[in-house]
Amino acid sequence: MTRLTVDDVYQHIRGVCFKTGPPGTVGAETEWFVIDAADPAAHVPRERVRALVGGAGPPSGGSRVTYEPGGQLELSSAPFGGLGALHSALGGDIAHVRDALAPDGLALVGHGVDPVRRPRFQADHPRYACMRDYFFAGGFPDAGLAMMCSTASIQVNLDIGADHTDAFRRWRLVHALGPVLVAAFANSPLRAGRRTGMRSSRQGIWTELDPGRTLPVLRDGADADPAEAWTRYALDAQVMLVHTAEGEWVSDPGMSFLEWLDKGEPGEDDLSYHLSTLFPPVRPRGWLELRMIDALPGPYWPVPVAVATALLDDPAASRAAEAAAEPVAHRWAEAARSGLSDPPLAAAARACFAAALDALPRLGASGLVPLVDEYARRYVERGRTPADDPAPDSPHSPLPLSEEDPTWPR
C-alpha cells in the first residue's frame, strides 16, 4: 500500500473533496426520531423499526434508509437535477416509511434534539462503539452520547461549484449563511424533558464536542484557499479510530492525522475514513454538506432544502444572501442561543427568505413557494422559530400546520 505525504493529502482533497462541475444537483438527508404513540417517552427498539421498514420494501424514490446510533431513522435521497424532483421523490419515500410504521403505532417526528428521552446507544457497528469510546476518552461523554443518540438534522447537499473561482465563492457564502440557517430553523429548546435555554440545543451539543472536528472550517483567514483550509483542518484533527489490517477497530490512538502521516502508516483509504469522522457544519465531499440545520416538524423539511439551494444556485439570490449574511457570518453562538430573537440574525434571515422566494420560480420550483412562504410568515417575519412554539401536551406531538389552526401563535 502506497504511503501518503502531506502533498498527497492536499491533492486528494483538491481532486475529490473539491471536485468542480456545473451546479444544479441537489440532495437531502432527513433524520427522524421514531416514537411509539402509546408511550412517547419510551425508547423504540431499532430492530422493531428495521423489521417494519424492511417488510415494506425499498422506497420507490431511491432514498437510502439507515439508522443512527440512538435509533434515529435517516432517509438519504438520491441526487436530483432540481428541487421539484427531489421534493417529490424524498417526500414520497418519507410517506412510504410513515405508512410502514403507522400500523404498529409508530411515528416519525422531527426535532433537533430528542425532547423527552435520554440517550440510549443502540448501534451494533464497531465504528459507532469506537466513536463513543473516543468521545468518552476525550472528556466529552455527555455531549458525545447526546450527539450520537439524541440529535437529528436536515442535511442539504449541493454542488461545490462550476470552477475554482465559483467554488471559492460558494464556500464563503455557505459558511456565512451557516448562522442564519441555524437561527432560522432552530427546533431544539428541550433536552431530556428540560429546557436548555437555547433555541438550537443541537448546535449547542456540537459546539461542546471535540472542536478540532466540529468547529467551522472557515473561521479565520476568509481568503484562504478552500482545499488548503480543509487540508489543514484534516491534518490537525485527532484520529478518532483506526481499522487495522487484521480487521480490528482501535479507538483514540492518540495522535493527529499529521502525526500518523509522519509515522508513514496511513494510506488513501485511511484518509477517506478519517475525513468521514470530521463533522464541521459545512463539509466538502465532492459536494457541500450543510450539516447545521435542526430536524423540523414533518411538513417543513423541504423548506431549508429549498432556501439553501436557492441562495447558492440562483445568481441574484446569491448576491442578496452574500450582502445579508456577511455581517452575521460569525454569530454561531448567538444563533444557537437566541434563534431569530437576535436582531441581526432576524434581519439577515428575512432578507435571505425574500431572495429565496423570489428565486424559486426561476429554479423551476414554484410548487415549493407556498410552503416556504408559510414558514416565512409563521416564523421568520415574526422573529420566531419552531423552538418558540408553545410546547404541546406531548413534546413529540406534531405542531399545527397552518395559520387557520386556532393554536397557531399570533
Domains and CATH numbers, the chain: 6-388 (3.30.590.20)
Is the CB of residue 205 less than 8 Å from the CB of residue 140?
Answer: no
Give the separation between CA 39 and CA 36, rounded to whole angstroms.
5
The pLDDT value given to residue 392: 61
* Bridge partners of residue 64, in order along the sequence: 76
Per-residue CA distances from 256 to 138, 170, 202, 359 (Å): 13, 29, 26, 43
Q: Please state the rounded mean pLDDT for residues 189-215.
A: 95
Question: How many residues in total does the chain contain?
Answer: 410
The three state secondary structure string of 147-171 is: HHHHECEEEEEEECCCCHHHHHHHH
- pLDDT of 405 strictly over 60: no
Per-residue CA distances from 376 to 300, 342, 355 (Å): 11, 16, 12
The pLDDT value given to residue 220: 58
- The beta-strand segments (E) located in 253-306 are 282-284, 287-294
- pLDDT of 160 strictly over 50: yes
Is the CB of residue 157 less than 8 Å from the CB of residue 79?
Answer: yes
The kind and range of the H/E element at 45 are: none
- Model confidence band, residue 244 (pLDDT cutoffs 50, 70, 90): confident
Give the separation between CA 170 and CA 172, rounded to whole angstroms.
5
The pLDDT value given to residue 396: 63
- pLDDT of 17 strictly over 90: yes
- pLDDT of 158 strictly over 60: yes
Per-residue CA distances from 18 to 79, 196, 226, 372 (Å): 17, 37, 8, 30
* pLDDT per residue as tens digits for the range 213-228: 999 998 755 667 999 9
Is the CB of residue 312 less than 8 Å from the CB of residue 181?
Answer: no
Give the separation between CA 390 and CA 395, rounded to whole angstroms.
10
pTM of the predicted model as reported, rounded to 2 decimal places = 0.94
Determine what percent of the chain is predicted with pLDDT higher than 90: 87
The pLDDT value given to residue 395: 53
Q: Please state the rounded mean pLDDT for residues 268-287.
A: 96
The pLDDT value given to residue 249: 87
Q: Which residue has the higher pLDDT, 218 or 80?
A: 80
Closest alpha carbon to 49 in 107, 114, 93: 107
- Model confidence band, residue 248 (pLDDT cutoffs 50, 70, 90): confident
Q: Which residue has the higher pLDDT, 8 or 400?
A: 8
Report the SS3 class of residue 34.
strand
Q: Please give the single-letter amino acid code of residue 42.
A: A
Closest alpha carbon to 170 in 331, 308, 368, 28: 308
Is the CB of residue 302 less than 8 Å from the CB of residue 77?
Answer: no
Q: Please state the rounded mean pLDDT for residues 76-98.
A: 98
- pLDDT of 52 strictly over 60: yes
User: First CA to last CA across the chain, in angstroms?
Assistant: 64
* pLDDT per residue as tens digits for the range 23-32: 999 999 999 9
The pLDDT value given to residue 393: 54
Q: Please state the rounded mean pLDDT for residues 357-379.
A: 98
The pLDDT value given to residue 397: 56
**What are the φ/ψ torsions at residue 29 (nearest 5 degrees)?**
-125, 125
Give the separation between CA 342 and CA 314, rounded to whole angstroms.
27
